[in-house]
A and B are shown apart, each in its own frame.
Chain A
Amino acid sequence: MNDRPRTALVIGATSDIGRAIAHALAEDGCALQLAARDAARLERETRDLRVRTAAAVTAHPCDVLDEDCGVSLLDTLDPLPDVAVCVVGLLGNQAESQRDGAAAERVMRTNYVGPALLMGALAERFERRGSGVLVGVSSVAGERGRATNYVYGSAKAGFTAFLSGLRGRLAASGVHVVTIKPGFVRTRMTDGMNLPAQLTATPEEVAAAVLTAIHRRRDIVYIRRVWRPIMLLIRAVPERVLKRMKL
């Protein structure tokens, strides 16, 4: 027996990154459990994966904004997956989030509260079993609150911190936690944006990095290496300077 994951859960499977990760895991030989909010679109992805790959695929409609999402989702998972990847996210619109508390709350809950509670619930089961890998897709936006994107950034910061803590707590239990920090990725979220080509990854690159991180038990992964020095720099800028930068 090898220790390759046999069953993988992808939460947010209808997103471009989620889809790419699901494909990569299927190619790697995993059975798939796909979770997403929109049941019709989830069905479309499920069928696509069944046709394209040899993987067994099950669909699990759920909305991370529902309070009992974690519990109800976990009850439908059979078996409990070896790997769970959470790709749920919502960029939102900073200006709208500033004006409208409800919009801001939706961004916060979609990027932090929902994913964190779900990962927490999965962690309980994984810890009891004594094995498993949890992968959270966070963002480089969570490393510093920036004037142009701080509602999203703060939620991602929360998720990143949650994953760090979880990793520490579970380190001795055999459960591993991976934090993925993509920079720009060419997806529906960034459609129409003018992104620098050198800094912009494809969903397939993210998927390949996730797979490597699972196999090699990486802790924190940037998708393009150039983001590591960039974020080092951005973290190092003194607040008194940063506040004058329109970053």
Chain B
Amino acid sequence: MMLSGWGRHPALDCRLERLRRWEDLPGLLHRGTTLIARGNGRAYGDAALNPNLTLSTLAMNRMRAFDAGTGLLDCEAGVLLADILETFAPRGWFPPVVPGTQLVTVGGMIAADVHGKNHHAEGTFGAHVESLTLAGADGAMRTCSRAENADLFRATLGGMGLTGLILSARFRLRPIETAFLMAETLAARNLDEAMALFEASRDWPFSVAWIDCLARGAGLGRSLLTRGAFMDAGALPPSLASSPLVPASRGKLRVPFDAPSALPNRVSIGFFNELYYRRGRRRVRTGARPVHFDRFFFPLDRIEAWNRLYGRRGFVQYQCVLPKGKSAAGVAALLECAAASGQGSFLAVLKLFGSAGDGLMSFPMEGYTLALDFPVRHGTAALLDGLDEITHRHGGRVYLAKDAHCAPERVREGYPRLGAFEAVRAEAAGGRPRFVSELSRRLAL
């Protein structure tokens, strides 16, 4: 069947099978074809596509154990973050790191070694994984941790599923007293101000900025920085105090059909960005206010199938990170390049990362990350080449969980530990790698 990532580009004819029980795995591996695991399909590009066999782990979603003393959760790889939140947030537990959507699996979060708005303080999700079980091409299950099979463990964090099939993982949830964050929004008139605000927000657990990617000249990089921290029960206003851990009441919207491909254009995106900025400015005046975690962390999850907004041909998300010393010049050049193309995105995001973790192929490093969406159309490839060139020139790299375009040599240059990763992967495979995706084929990994 035709299958694609969240960006709906590229789409490939893949043999998709659903893993129903672990006992079936040796038989599937015995077929001898290459394969890749697929969670909830939220990687944007071609990371979870393999025409020979794309193996859905969504049915492998049992929780195995939870220690209410320490917060340690042991669950299968197909468990959705949404399930974890639904189960544990009302009991006062929250994952140490969450990405921008809760519709991802635990396996996917490890394979992409996802980060959240607290990367500067807590690192990636992988930094909090105590151990995981990995099935190799031989069908053997290995426990991997920082003490046991440590190389394989470090290669699997951010390894995009190329080291084997993640079966389960253990990680510690954090206690929360309330489901609300005290959040405030600050306006930055340009990139320098935005970066100064990030520096000034280091002590806030969570921070992220929306950036107007169509603003140019003196206003280049104008943005709205949002920062927040979970509230203690005592700090809640009376209206919320009666049920501090209340689940989100989510009115759900759904994009019912593909938007015409012409919808995202210079006018509509400019209009949206202007509107968003003005709305944000009003927020700035409101000051700090309690916001439910669902709204704070996962605003786009309220709009089901929002990827349809970019039309049938899909979109690409370009996310890169630049080393801190070169971030100011690099981000400015990237924004200038995107704005000049006129293909700006509805939502562009800027965030200051903390230092890199121990995953060999993990994306984050200390510096600024910028994420931009572009509808796929004529000229998009050239734009991405231009952005790649800027990223490369500033010593940065792209995020493989978003990528659908980058050239092999760019990835090789951007990920200095790629050699070590390939050595571990080759050893684990004991020959020709079996866990292969369209992404690894494209990047000659």
Contact = CB atoms under 8 A, between A and B. Distances in A.
Nearest to B21: A41
Interface in B79-129: 83, 87
A188 B20 CA distance: 8
Interface stretch (A43-51, A131-139, A155-163): A43-51
A47 B65 contact: yes
A51 B21 contact: no
Interface in B55-87: 59, 62-66, 73, 75, 83, 87
A47 B74 CA distance: 11
Contacts of B64: 44, 47-48, 51
A51 B18 contact: no
Contact of B63 (A41, A52, A188, A191): A52
Interface in A25-49: 41, 44-45, 47-48
A47 B62 contact: yes
Interface in B180-212: none
Contacts of A45: 62
Interface residues of B, number: 13
A47 B63 contact: yes
Nearest to B22: A44
A190 to B, nearest CB: 12
B20 A51 contact: no
A138 B158 CA distance: 46
Contacts, number: 25
Interface in A184-208: 188, 191
Contacts of B73: 51
Contacts of A47: 62-65
A45 B60 CA distance: 11
Contacts of A52: 63, 83, 87
A48 B78 CA distance: 13
Contacts of B59: 188
Contacts of A41: 21
Contacts of B65: 47, 51
Contact of B66 (A51, A188, A191): A51
A45 B59 CA distance: 12
A223 B21 CA distance: 27
A24 to B, nearest CB: 14
A230 to B, nearest CB: 27
A52 B73 CA distance: 11
Contacts of A191: 18, 20
24 contacts: A41-B21, A44-B62, A44-B64, A45-B62, A47-B62, A47-B63, A47-B64, A47-B65, A48-B62, A48-B63, A48-B64, A51-B63, A51-B64, A51-B65, A51-B66, A51-B73, A51-B75, A51-B87, A52-B63, A52-B83, A52-B87, A188-B20, A191-B18, A191-B20
The 7 closest A-B pairs by CB, nearest first: A51-B63, A48-B62, A51-B66, A52-B87, A48-B63, A44-B62, A47-B64
Given A47-B62, A48-B62, A52-B87, 20 more contacts: A41-B21, A44-B64, A45-B62, A47-B63, A47-B64, A47-B65, A48-B63, A48-B64, A51-B63, A51-B64, A51-B65, A51-B66, A51-B73, A51-B87, A52-B63, A52-B83, A188-B20, A188-B59, A191-B18, A191-B20
Interface of B: 18, 20-21, 59, 62-66, 73, 75, 83, 87
